[in-house]
Amino acid sequence: MAKLFNTVKVGAFSLKHRVVLSPMTRLRTIQPGDIPSPMMADFYGQRASEGGLEIIEAASISEHARSYLGAASIFHDGQHEGWKAIADAIHAKGGIAFLQLIHGGRQSHVDVTGGRLPVAPSEVPFDGVALTKDGFVPVSPHRALGRDEIKGIVEDFRVAAERAKKAGFDGVELHAANGYLVDQFIQDGTNQRTDEYGGPVDNRVRFMRESLEALISVYGADRVGVRISPSGEWGGISDSNPEATFSHVARVLDSYEIAYLHVIEPRIKGDDTLHHGHPTVAANYLRPHFSGPIIAAGGFERDSALEVVESGVADLVAFGRHFSSNPDLPVRLKDNLPLTPYVRAAFWGGDEKNYSDFPAYERPVAEDESNVAVDVEAV
């Protein structure tokens, strides 16, 4: 059997396969107060599998951490039952559920932060957008965080982890990718501070370390993962030497013995064409620096997923687009069954249509010599 479908130990858990649901912001918290909706529980429950890992979409850790209207949050009591329903739906099918935690940083707008200016390590203007009641609009001007404020955000991460644990999630993932706040601290294009949170790379990862330690204080290291995007440019992010920076990040994370390192592989700049079939880039140079499980994400198809896991560059593969329209994706990949095309128009907001209404694969029905229909699996 291909290694992609073999068991693997990830932190505190023994998974039965290596096909992971990637966190996807789908903007379905349509109730006031960012309360997770029943259709979200349906969506995640449909995609759960015995011994499979699901990483649930990014949940903002506070009101001023929000970036997108309709995106998930986990900072007040009214959200508890919605999150619990999602964790319960996954556990009902024997799945493992990690909740991704995020602070959007400068990628935001005052209309979604409760009127507060977005924050960042430094004031470095950029052309970004945030989603508000008026649709996607230019981000609001942001301001640099004071040192004391940083400690408060670290505490927000800790409290969010406590809420996730109370709701029944098996672990949490620190979102340190895609140009959001943790990533803004890591990379020197956005971090121009001169205090202990800026300058040398070891200072620039201080906020990541403190936030990670806050999550570990709640869950333990073996139930915490971290997602990074070493080659990403979303949100105007940049670094003068990304390979050196993220090799250091990997070594730092390795020292904590976390459950996994989740790496977003690069995509072609300028459009949405993916590196289908291309070798991984980030995971290739990070592998020597991180001894735990690596999850690779970013445009994988069945063949490229099989290849990257067989090579040992990554241990698991996370799928987003294909999982969005194929709730039984691990089975389809294992048996090489046709995939239902995803519907891009439904990615960012909407209702159940093209979200939680995709069926599992229906195997053909054959007729035996007596003209009685039987399932091909039973023949």
Residues belonging to the active site: 180
Give the whole-angstrom CA distance, residue 232 versus residue 242.
10
Estimate the crossing angle of helix 80-91 against helix 147-167, to 10 degrees: 50
Identity of residue 228: I
Two tokens, residue 67: 């970036």
Query: Which residue is it, tokens 């999150």?
Result: 83
CB 198 within 8 A of CB 191: yes
In this structure, is the dihedral angle defined by the CA atoms of residues 130, 132, 138 and 139, taken in order, positive or negative? negative
Contacts of 124 (CB under 8 A, 6+ apart): 106, 189, 190, 192, 236
> Residue 77 burial by CB count (10 A; 0-12/13-18/19+): exposed, middle or buried?
exposed
Q: Could you tell me which of 114, 158, 112 has the C-alpha nearest to residue 139?
A: 112
Estimate the crossing angle of helix 206-219 against helix 147-167, to 10 degrees: 30
Q: Could you tell me which of 189, 68, 71 has the C-alpha nearest to residue 121?
A: 189
Give the whole-angstrom CA distance, residue 156 versus residue 114.
16
Cα separations in angstroms, 299 against 264, 271, 275, 370: 9, 13, 6, 46
Which helix (H) or strand (E) segment holds residue 56: the answer is strand 53-60
Give the whole-angstrom CA distance, residue 45 versus residue 166.
19
CB 131 within 8 A of CB 68: yes
